[in-house]
Homo-oligomer: A and B are copies of this chain.
Amino acid sequence: MLLLRRCRGLTRVLCPVPALRYVAINKCASFLLKLGSGGGEDQQYSQDPRWRPALAGLLAGTGAALAYGLHYHQVRRFAPALPVFSQEEVATHSSLEAGVWVTFRGSVYDITEFVAMHPGGNKILLAAGGALEPFWALYAVHSQDHVLDILSEYKVGELNPEDQMRQRAVEPSDPYSSDPQRHPVLRVNSRKPFNAEPPPELLGDSYITPSALFFTRNHLPVPRVDPASYRLRVEGLPRPLSLSLQELKSRFPKHTVTATLQCAGNRRSEMSAVRRVKGLDWGVAAIGNATWSGALLRDVLLAAGGGGPDAAARHARHVQFEGLDSDAAGTAYGASIPLRKALSEDGDVLLAYEMNGEDLPADHGYPLRVVAPGTVGARSVKWLGRVVVSGQESASHWQQSDYKGFSPATDWDTVDFRSAPAIQELPVQSAITQPADGAVLERGEATVRGYAWSGGGREVVRVDVSLDGGETWRVARLRGGEEEEEEEEEEGEGEAPPPPPGRAWAWKLWEVVAPLPPGVQEVEIVCKAVDDSYNTQPDSVAPIWNLRGVLSNAWHRVRVKVKGD
């Protein structure tokens, strides 16, 4: 936050009134965050054309504009003298102490001051002393004019022509070139990495979400995995394992679970509407319900000596998962869940090799993924390569410095990621999938549909729907997995039991058919769900707003117009 400190200094001079100064600093911070780019979920600024007017708005009327202008000018002072450096010289600037230099298209940049502002965090240091190209190839967000503008501020010289030639010879091909084909109906939030959700009205149509329509949240390129040579390594227990796909399928009973997975950022766009947040602008469809089959993680851990009297097992608290997807520096996607969840007989955590009765699709983790029911999607690691039982949570960026919830009072200047627990179980959630926001309805009866789900295996027991903005309510009819239960009945002991307590992993779809209020031109439809712990959704978005835009589970509101008579 070096630059922020500088902004603060400047505004202290420029804005003698403390309150105004505070506004200026915050605007400045927001502005810098917007300008910054990086890995993870930052793509919305580049792909969303709205950032330009938003930026213009921010710049108008605050001291930040002036502060930034001064800063810009200050940096520009370096521009006139442009020496030529060798790659060897650049390479000596690969730490915060020695300065952080990078090259891009033949120019050399000293980005030391920018490191603290990089929304992707310290990952930027992976490029220190070398070329940016292989990293930017991974994160398409960087290929934007405004990113280049930022970079140009830090230019300190040129790379010598020999090293430029050498770099061009090894420029990587697009790491996303082997990504699979996707269904054209998906609404794409980011292509590289691929992040997309289905249209809500399709999502709400079927209890089991078709695999091709299931939301995809990739953090990195889809790895190509050869099933014949694939091995799952299980470590941190008395008997480490290395299992082929065939061994996983034959040594452990096949277990099938119907479970809903939801992205922590589902419905983030509603938070962005209150105040801009960092992350992909998901609608209401970053959630899906599928039938998953595989080995129980519990069975595999027990085979490796988990839960036993061994010292390592006794001190273990977490199960870390490592994906086979990795960035240019070889850092894999990673996450962890509590060991308690993994070993619980009621936990139903799968090492899944099937989705909806078929091999996992490439986008959903072929050949093997974790499915941790009741838990935020980010922990159900895809393309699973390694399982490590440990006393510590995963050290990955996504476990430590992302996917956590904060107070609306916490901003990027004050956030301490260690102060909040990693999201595991998600709170109760529901949303309207039909009608769409802005739809025009016939007078008379309206049909309202949606989904409802809660984390931790808590069953949704009621959904209330309002056709007048939350003044009065109706109880929706819940549509569970009846067909599926009938199948279970055939296999089972002649009973069609409800989900066992604490293991309601699947969502419920719901429906209300009710007359529209007479005489109105516009109606605000609202839904809210209640789970079997009687937790409910909060009424409004602003009080649960958080800088990362996760856990967006306020009442869902849809405004529709009613046709004139």
Contact = CB atoms under 8 A, between A and B. Distances in A.
Interface residues of A, number: 46
B528 A543 contact: yes
A268 to B, nearest CB: 14
A458 B426 CA distance: 12
Decide if the interface of chain A is mainly helix, strand, loop or mixed: loop
A371 interface: no
Given A470-B543, A540-B539, A543-B470, A407 B534 contact: no
A125 to B, nearest CB: 30
Interface in A429-482: 455-456, 458, 461-462, 464, 470, 472-475
B409 A472 contact: yes
A405 B534 contact: yes
Contact of A532 (B424, B472, B501): B424
A426 B530 CA distance: 12
Contacts of A425: 458, 532-534
Interface string A81-122: 000000000000000000000000000000000000000000
Nearest to A526: B543
A399 to B, nearest CB: 15
Contacts of A317: 501
B501 A533 contact: no
Nearest to A428: B535
Contacts of A306: none
Contacts of A161: none
A305 interface: no
B340 A407 contact: no
Nearest to A406: B462
Contacts of A532: 421, 424-425
Most buried by B among A425, A470, A532, A533: A533
Nearest to A422: B532
A537 to B, nearest CB: 7
A538 B470 CA distance: 13
A544 to B, nearest CB: 6
A225 to B, nearest CB: 32
17 contacts: A317-B501, A338-B501, A340-B500, A340-B501, A407-B474, A409-B472, A421-B461, A421-B532, A425-B533, A426-B534, A427-B534, A428-B535, A455-B533, A528-B543, A533-B535, A536-B538, A538-B539
Would you list the 9 A-B pairs with minimal beta carbon distance, nearest first?
A539-B539, A425-B533, A427-B535, A535-B535, A409-B473, A427-B534, A534-B551, A338-B501, A407-B475
